[in-house]
């Protein structure tokens, strides 16, 4: 006999019966998450085309996957600029933001924002030696990665990256976190 309990039965939208977008969002907002800036360099289209461009995206769905080999995972909205870029460009970086870098997180999370080039203009950074991606100055930690695997998961792509370099450039301050729909500090 097929199982048609409310927990496993799905609606035409792919949601289990009884779980709305708002309910799911509200429940997940109770999970505190660290905030990172994911960056990559979009290479030039050709010798006569526009120059390459640095691209950045704020993420809260980021985690360590494995110690041996060192792997991390970031979840990207399917079809987003970063998702499309990392589908073509396997090299990227992550800067773990400190509580004093809330403005950076907000800047790169805006919808309909201006050019990423302008968003990076007044942020101190170094270019990663392994990836060419930008690493935010003052970040609590930085990682340079190469994509190992991409997994489609609902309306997101899970990008698993092998860590090529890891650094702890700043021990100042605590981490920036995201909880109940707002950036927060620990304590």
Residue 112 has a pLDDT of 66
pTM for this prediction: 0.85
Q: Order of strands across the sheet with 176-179?
A: 33-34, 176-179, 182-185
Euclidean distance between CA atoms 182 and 109, whole angstroms: 12
Residue 32 has a pLDDT of 74
Q: If you count DSSP H runs as helices and E runs as strands, how many of each does the chain have, helices first?
A: 4, 12
Residue 10 has a pLDDT of 46
Q: List the structure tokens of 125.
A: 């950074």
Q: List the structure tokens of 25.
A: 């969002």
Residue 49 has a pLDDT of 64
Terminal CA-CA length for the chain = 52
- Establish how many alpha carbons lie within 13 A of residue 121's alpha carbon, considering only the half-sphere containing its beta carbon: 7
Write out the H or E segment, with its range, that includes residue 24.
helix 21-28
> Per-10-residue mean pLDDT for the chain, 187 residues long?
46 63 80 90 77 92 96 96 95 97 92 76 95 96 98 96 94 86 80
Residue 44 has a pLDDT of 81
Q: List the structure tokens of 33.
A: 């998450």
Residue 5 has a pLDDT of 43
Q: For the chain, what's the residue count?
A: 187
Cα dist from 84 to 88, 121, 138, whole Å: 7, 23, 28
Q: Which residue matches tokens 């970086």?
A: 93
Distance of CA 49 to the CA centre of its chain: 28
The secondary structure of 75-143 as a DSSP string is EEETTSHHHHHHHH--EEEEEE-BGGGHHHHHHHH-TT---HHHHHTTS-EEE-TTT--EEETT-SEEE
């Amino acid at each position: 006999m097929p199982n048609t309990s409310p927990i496993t039965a799905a609606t035409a939208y792919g949601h289990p019966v009884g779980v709305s977008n708002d309910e799911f969002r509200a429940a997940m907002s109770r999970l505190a998450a660290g905030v990172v800036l994911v960056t990559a360099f979009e290479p030039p289209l050709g010798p006569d085309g526009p120059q390459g461009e640095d691209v950045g995206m704020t993420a809260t769905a980021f985690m360590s996957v494995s110690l041996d080999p060192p792997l991390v995972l970031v979840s990207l909205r399917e079809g987003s600029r970063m998702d499309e870029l990392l589908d073509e460009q396997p090299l990227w970086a992550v800067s773990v933001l400190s509580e004093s870098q809330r403005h950076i997180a907000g800047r790169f999370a805006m919808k309909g924002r201006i050019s990423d080039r302008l968003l990076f203009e007044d942020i101190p950074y170094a270019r990663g030696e392994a990836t060419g991606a930008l690493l935010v100055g003052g970040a609590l930690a930085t990682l340079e990665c190469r994509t190992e695997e991409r997994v489609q998961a609902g309306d997101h792509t899970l990008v698993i990256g092998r860590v090529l370099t890891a650094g702890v450039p700043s021990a100042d301050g605590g981490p920036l976190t995201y909880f109940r729909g707002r950036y927060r500090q620990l304590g």
